[in-house]
Amino acid sequence: MSFDIIIENGQIIDGTKTKRYAGDVGITGDRIEKIGDLSGADAAQRIDARGKIVAPGFVDVHNHSDGWLLKTPHITSKTMQGFTTEVIMADGISYAPVNPHTAPEWIYYLRALNALRLEEYSGWESLADYMTLLDGKTAQNVLTHVPYANVRTMACGWGREVPDDYQMRMIVQEIALGMEAGAVGLSTGLDYISQCFSSTDEFVEACAPLVEMQGLYVSHVRYKKGTLAGVKEAVEIGRRAGIPVHISHLKGTAAEPAEEIIRYIDEVAVNEVDFSFEVYPYMPGSTMLNYLLPYEVWENGPLGVLRHLTREDIRDQFGQSLQQMPLETTTIAWVASKENSEHQGKTLREFIDERGGLAGDALADLLIEENLAVLLVLTAGEDDEIDPFLSHPNFMLGTDGILHEPVDVPKKGGDVFEHFGSVKDSPSYTSGTLRSRIHPRQYGSAARVLGPAVRVKQLFSLEEAVYKLSGYPAARFGAKHRGEVRVGWFADVVVFDAETITDRATYADPHQHSIGVDHVLVNGRLVITNGAPVPKLGNPLPGRSLKFKE
């Protein structure tokens, strides 16, 4: 018998929580063809996994890779942790679907998350268009949600008016199209533009096209109004619509500690709906500075915001919401302009003091200078507070990662220049631009769950950790025949060292790859080998656009 690749002598953790066992994995083409003793078999390539774990590729169910994947075909910060599939278009805000009116608004609005510029817009409109752009053009597989605000703004603009019957029909039709294109369900972000104006009833109606496929209602709930009330609203929407519910980046707060939220999940949520949630394994968060603006500035769309920012009353309200923020421990992670990049890494307090005047004025001016594109990272909070969520049986991992790296340049023929190591090695590095100070979750989330959470904190077994990263999210988000090391299934495979795997990214120095992952295969092709990215991935690239349950 002959294989393309044999991964031999490893311990297989298959992604189902079953205890590890010794075995070789034989791969032909994009599939796992045989598991067992393959010492007598031929192979074009043999990978020695002695002393290592062989596991299914990991699925990141929440991230902001949407735009980065278009221009960073290999997001090494993710594959170096073992991620092989990205589920994009979270929080109800993304780049598709759009129409010629909404496209420039979304590109402008999302700059702090994805950094796409208008000149990079190539004319896509539907969700299917966007997924086609990524198919075979990325190192990782991609699944998508239908982002709700994109759909709503196409039907009825950016304001707070309740959609009329005709507009509601357009919304439902567009979501149905997204499901046909292979979306996993609907993503919503009820603290974000457009959707902050939507009612519970509106969401129930919008979810009708999800029922047949049992697509997921995935929600960043109204956290600003209180976590528990927000989660209850999501459960109500799922129960009334008759679909599963998944909560995005669920955490406790000082007012609503983890125990209280988990009690509600165990006693109510899991009995009312098919329920799951994700969170990244860090207590501090990261968000856009414009997230703190009063909702009324968004009523004419993102391109209309700047003129509201000169208003006295808006600056006052913004100043008041800044009082809820720990200014001393919130840092400026990234800004769009070279001029202000010297402020990356400074705390908001330092920036405000340097500028002088009121906090609301200093930061409203910064938003005007940056065309709204300012990303923040919060650094206060104890990571141990996340542990009860990580240990919960309904938890899976979502990094919520935001990249902001100098961009890898695709070379002719689809090969990817690997930016790996110093930022100055990147061909797109512009001298004078300082490095972003993004949240370390982009680089460290999976390694934290497999390493420190298992070895040091002993929250769960390694078999359970792998399940939370592979088998569980793949099944939940409909990545069919993925998420397990199983004969006949796709060869998305990770080889890692259980003794050494750990995160290294910090708030002060976030651009540090995790260590301990030796090899990563996507659809049977190596993207990481011997602990480093494969320099030339060929054309097409190994990643595919996947469809829900297909």
Judged by the rule CB under 5 A, the positions of this chain that interact with Zn ion are 91, 220
Residue 191 CB, shortest distance to Zn ion, in Å, is: 8
Instruction: Please state, in angstroms and rounded to a whole number, the distance separating the CA atoms of residues 209 and 178.
Output: 9
Residue 333 CB, shortest distance to Zn ion, in Å, is: 15
Closest CA to 45 of 79, 1, 2, 11: 2
Residue 285 CB, shortest distance to Zn ion, in Å, is: 9
Nearer to Zn ion, 139 or 237 (CB): 237
Nearer to Zn ion, 24 or 91 (CB): 91
Q: Which residues pair with 3 in a beta bridge?
A: 43
Nearer to Zn ion, 89 or 526 (CB): 89
Strand-pair category, 21-28 with 53-56: unpaired
Closest CA to 479 of 58, 104, 132: 58
Q: Which residues pair with 56 in a beta bridge?
A: 493
Nearer to Zn ion, 220 or 547 (CB): 220
Residue matched to tokens 């959470």? 453
Length of the chain: 550
Residue 248 CB, shortest distance to Zn ion, in Å, is: 5
- The 10 Å Cβ neighbour count of residue 432 is 9
What residues contact residue 463 under an 8 Å CB cut-off, 6+ apart? 13, 17, 18, 19, 20
Residue 302 CB, shortest distance to Zn ion, in Å, is: 17
Contact 84, 494 (CB under 8 A): yes
Residue 234 CB, shortest distance to Zn ion, in Å, is: 13
DSSP 445-483: HHHHHHTHHHHTS--S-HHHHHHHHTHHHHHHTT-TT-S
Longest dimension (CA), the chain: 77
Taking CB atoms, the residue at the shortest distance from Zn ion is: 220
Instruction: Please state, in angstroms and rounded to a whole number, the distance separating the CA atoms of residues 369 and 257.
Output: 38
Strand-pair category, 21-28 with 2-12: antiparallel
Nearer to Zn ion, 476 or 525 (CB): 476
Residue 336 CB, shortest distance to Zn ion, in Å, is: 21
Contact 437, 377 (CB under 8 A): yes
Instruction: Extract the tokens encoding 169.
Output: 């029909």
Residue 93 CB, shortest distance to Zn ion, in Å, is: 9
Nearer to Zn ion, 189 or 478 (CB): 189
Residue 534 CB, shortest distance to Zn ion, in Å, is: 32
- Whether omega before 540 lies within 30 degrees of 0, making that bond cis, reads yes
Whole-number CA gyration radius for the chain: 23
Q: Letter for the amino acid at 378?
A: L
Residue 379 CB, shortest distance to Zn ion, in Å, is: 18
Residue 378 CB, shortest distance to Zn ion, in Å, is: 14
Handedness of CA 251, 255, 258, 264 (dihedral sign): negative
Nearer to Zn ion, 90 or 527 (CB): 90
Secondary structure tally for the chain: helices H, strands E: 20, 21
DSSP secondary structure code for residue 217 in this structure: E
**Residue 88 φ/ψ region, left for φ over 0, alpha for ψ in the -120 to 50 degree band, beta for the rest:** beta
Nearer to Zn ion, 220 or 439 (CB): 220
Nearer to Zn ion, 220 or 222 (CB): 220
Nearer to Zn ion, 14 or 91 (CB): 91
- The enclosing H or E element of 203 equals helix 200-206
Residue 94 CB, shortest distance to Zn ion, in Å, is: 12
Nearer to Zn ion, 141 or 287 (CB): 287
> Distance of alpha carbon 216 from its chain centroid, rounded?
16
Nearer to Zn ion, 124 or 334 (CB): 334
